[in-house]
Amino acid sequence: MSDSDFREGLLSINLKAIADNYLDLVGRLGTGTRCGAVVKADAYGLGMAHIVPALYAQGCRDFFVATQAEGQRLRSALGEDVNIVILTGVRPGAELECARAGLIPTLFTLEQLRRWVEIREQLQLEAPCALKVDSGMTRLGLSPEEFELLLKDRPLLEAADVQILLSHLACADEPLHPQNQIQLRQFREASDRLRELCPDILLSLANSSGIFLGEDYHFDIVRPGSALYGLNPVPGSENPMRPTVTLGLPIVQKRYVSQPRAVGYGATQEIPGNSWLAVARGGYADGIMRSQGGRGRGWAHGRPLPIIGRISMDSTTFDISGLNKEERDSINSIEILNEQLTVDEVAGYAGTIGYEVLTSLGHRYDRRYIKG
């Protein structure tokens, strides 16, 4: 495609690369482990409606979302042969709707379990739930004390129809962090005890990075999100995943600057005389993090081009003096994400993580989904 094909920023999302990443992860699991997919926040900003069918085609049948609204949107697009798990519980009063839609809420308080049982019994619904225990992250999940109480309450446990036991790792992206082992031990202990009472319950602990901690962490279902979308699950080592996004910004003005000048709001950065600048459409309102100003870069003709000065709401200025005249004349756009300039690298310039870069991608881009 030529650069002049688009006048808005163009966000290309490679569904083939996402499918390949899924298969790569499947290949790291034993045959007893199912590979789910976390597609919360519109598949990390990349478009759940396109990505879910691509993963389904590769055999994925366990999808994880954050909210009931996301689950309902997904449910209406998929058949009964998939599990849709809502990771952040169920809103009080919305249990019925949740159960009727066949969504599996992750419950993490005894109160939620009791309400779930009430609804099931009132309606005689076959409605499984997932249960989350806190194995050390101290976010969502039953505390060890609450878990003890649950184990003593056999009727509640039996009536709740817990299908999956979940927990989440806090430090999976730091393989040597002692917290991983501690959480693994906690989760094992909890799951062993629960399985004595509910032998068929499925166990799920690992996110993307957790898969790379080794087989001990895999259990029955893994829950990768970020690695599917190309983020590096093993920071500090070479990224085993394929990059999945390219983002090109159209240039709206190229200008020659003869004398040293300060560029952009606040006049924070000066460029020397005899420079060339390109102002591209796309700014912090489009998820180009303002914290990248003066630090980040774009990419054209196989070369990095520094971002100069502050990023504006709708535009970003690049120093294109490094290009020769012919290259300068020919470019109509500058890429700010591509195979060389990865989401993780951009996150580094912005002082954040790839997850935030992806989920911040704006809504003004033309989006293109690449299948081949």
Ligand X SMILES: *Cc1c(COP(=O)(O)O)cnc(C)c1O
Q: Could you tell me which stretch among 23-31, 207-215, 234-242, 246-254 binds ligand X (CB under 6 A)?
A: 207-215
Where in 285-324 is the site for ligand X (CB under 6 A)?
none
Where in 27-66 is the site for ligand X (CB under 6 A)?
38, 40
Binding mask 76-105 for ligand X (x = CB under 6 A): -----------x------------------
| 3-class DSSP assignment, residue 121 | helix
Is the distance from CB of 283 to CB of 316 less than 8 angstroms? Answer: yes
Is the distance from CB of 114 to CB of 145 less than 8 angstroms? Answer: no
Question: Which residue, 51 or 331, has its beta carbon nearer to ligand X?
Answer: 51
Where in 155-184 is the site for ligand X (CB under 6 A)?
168
Residue 159 burial (CB < 10 Å; 0-12/13-18/19+)?
Answer: middle
Indicate whether 226 belongs to the interface with ligand X (CB under 6 A): yes
> How many Å apart are CA 183 and CA 16, to the nearest integer?
34
State the nearest-atom distance from the C-beta of 40 to ligand X, in Å. Answer: 6
Question: Which residue, 63 or 299, has its beta carbon nearer to ligand X?
Answer: 63
Catalytic residue numbers?
40, 265
Q: Which amino acid appears at position 171 of this protein?
A: C
Angle between helices 144-152 and 178-197 (to 10 degrees): 10
Is the distance from CB of 157 to CB of 197 less than 8 angstroms? Answer: yes
Indicate whether 141 belongs to the interface with ligand X (CB under 6 A): no
Q: Are strands 245-257 and 261-263 parallel, antiparallel or unpaired?
A: unpaired
Indicate whether 135 belongs to the interface with ligand X (CB under 6 A): no
- Comparing C-alpha atoms, which of 262, 250, 223, 218 is closest to residue 333? 250
Question: Which residue, 38 or 131, has its beta carbon nearer to ligand X?
Answer: 38
Indicate whether 207 belongs to the interface with ligand X (CB under 6 A): yes
Q: Which two tokens stand for residue 117?
A: 């049982």
**Which residue of 68, 135, 183, 208 would you call a contact of ligand X, by CB under 6 A?**
208
Indicate whether 71 belongs to the interface with ligand X (CB under 6 A): no
Binding residues vs ligand X (CB under 6 A): 38, 40, 87, 168, 207-209, 223-227
